[in-house]
Amino acid sequence: MWSSGTLPRPQVATDAPPLDVKRWFWTASSNLAGAQIEGVRFVITHRQSFDSARLGLEIASALQKLYPNQIDLKGNRRLIGNDATIDALASGQDPRRVVQQNDEALAAFLATRERYLLYR
């Protein structure tokens, strides 16, 4: 996706997940043990506030911006979760707004579900 040390930086939210992002790293195991690898490594810096779904949306959104029409969002539906999220990402919607919409849908589902629970 990039080469020769050139990786464009997309604009990301200022309230992005609690991570330290490393561009270069050295492998500790595998057939490339000890080799310097060009890639992306995410180190969770605050586990209690980390939201893996939010990180996934931020990454998907950034990749869509960096590589328009090259990411097969629909082909990754099982990873992404639902068509509304895919459509929002494909249209360039802010990942924070996508998270908010998903949270609203989840809250509505949980409220409906509560009426049918046998055990609380």
How many domains in the chain?
2
77 with 111, same domain: the answer is yes
pLDDT given at position 24: 67
Q: What is the pLDDT of residues 16-71, one digit of tens each?
A: 556 677 666 677 777 777 777 777 777 888 888 888 888 889 888 988 888 888 88
Q: End-to-end CA distance of the chain: give it in Å, rounded.
A: 49
Same domain, 33 and 46: yes
Q: Are residues 23 and 45 in the same domain?
A: yes
Q: In terms of domains, do 91 and 34 share one?
A: no
For residue 18, count CB atoms less than 10 angstroms from its CB and return exposed for 0-12, middle for 13-18, buried for 19 or more.
Answer: middle
What's the pLDDT at 14?
46
pTM over 0.75: no
Tell me which residue range forms the domain holding 56: 51-120
